[in-house]
Structure 1
Amino acid sequence: MNQFTLSALAFLGGVFLAIQGGLNSHLGVLLKNPLLASVVAFFSSFIFALSIAFFSIEKLPTLSQVKIIPAYLWFTGGFFSVLGISLYYYTIPKLGVSTMISLGLCGQLIFAVIAGHYGWLNLPTEPITVKRISGLIAMILGILLINGK
């Protein structure tokens, strides 16, 4: 896939996350519990993911491939997913979707720049540069403009 297509897919993924955040935070308000909305969202996500995987996976991993996966990788991603998504559902009705998404994106990008610089989470290193810092500053200014009264 070329860079334009990958970028368009990433953009579309962001749109989908904003849509699901808005819909599921409304569900959390109606259920009077954002964590319960997360349970519903993750259960339906599980059903959709399982269905898609069933039709798209050509070959399952072997037992030896599964055995070498560190135990923490089976749970920590899901743990942080529940925390992050539940916080979205909790804060969107209080802050508004554009404020919450812009602040959430800010947190993601700042963490991503730091994690990339140090190669945390077993990812390739991407050094912090003046250009990246300038981008973060521009993003923070943009967030201030988006959220300014």
Structure 2
Amino acid sequence: MFNLILLALLAGSAIAIQAMINSKLALLLNNTLLATACAFFIAFISVLVLYLIMGNTVKFNQLTQVPSLIWYTGGVLSALGVGLLYYLIPKLGAGSLMSFALTSQLICAMIFSHFGWLSLPQKTMNLESTLGASLMIIGLILINWKAV
């Protein structure tokens, strides 16, 4: 379990760092959409190479069985979320933006888990989890006190 927690922390750090690097790319290119496209292109190539190096093969019948709604909404929401991060970091600052993003991600994930949407393991919200989310919101306010 400890290793999984370390991987989760690594994932969170990677997301924050790549967002800051790619927001710099957006400033240098003077175009957030182009920076987002570049980031997704490099990510696609990187993941594809890793996928193939690990000995996986493409199973086209699996690709065709995925509902269109899953393909498109996942991609569109990824582009929207990532593109907005790149756009907003220079305007809000990395710390402020990440505090808003993480709080909204946590609350959204709690709601999806509570109802078991998208076949997620169902985890009912309780007093403790609601208190934890409330403390995140309080932290969000404190982090951004002068900006609010």
Taking structure 2 as the reference length, the TM-score comes to 0.91
* Residues 23, 66 of structure 1: alpha-carbon distance in 2 compared, 3 angstrom cutoff: closer
**Separation in 1, partners of 2:40, 2:57:** 25
**Separation in 2, partners of 1:126, 1:105:** 19
Deviation digits for residues 77-134 of structure 1, max 9, x if unmatched? Answer: 1111000001101110000001111100011011111111111222121111011100
Please tell me the residue identity of whatever aligns with 2:82: I
Give RMSD over aligned pairs.
Answer: 1.4
Please tell me the residue identity of whatever aligns with 2:52: F
Taking structure 1 as the reference length, the TM-score comes to 0.91
**Separation in 2, partners of 1:62, 1:25:** 35
Deviation at 1:60, TM superposition (A): 3.9
Select the residue among 2, 6, 21 that pairs with 2:4.
6
Please tell me the residue identity of whatever aligns with 1:119: G
**Separation in 1, partners of 2:39, 2:60:** 30
* Residues 78, 135 of structure 1: alpha-carbon distance in 2 compared, 3 angstrom cutoff: same
**Separation in 1, partners of 2:57, 2:121:** 27
**Separation in 2, partners of 1:106, 1:94:** 18
Match of 2:47 in 1: 49
Select the residue among 132, 135, 138 that pairs with 1:141.
138
Match of 1:104 in 2: 101
Q: Runs of 5+ in structure 1 lacking a partner?
A: none
Within 5 Å, which residues of 2 pair with 1:64-143?
65-143=62-140
Q: Using the aligned pairs only, state the percent identity.
A: 42
Select the residue among 26, 29, 33 that pairs with 1:28.
26
Larger displacement relative to structure 2 (137-146 or 11-20): 137-146
* Residues 135, 66 of structure 1: alpha-carbon distance in 2 compared, 3 angstrom cutoff: same
* Residues 62, 30 of structure 1: alpha-carbon distance in 2 compared, 3 angstrom cutoff: closer
> In the comparison of the two structures, how many residue pairs are matched?
146
Q: Runs of 5+ in structure 2 lacking a partner?
A: none
**Separation in 2, partners of 1:108, 1:119:** 16
Please tell me the residue identity of whatever aligns with 2:91: K
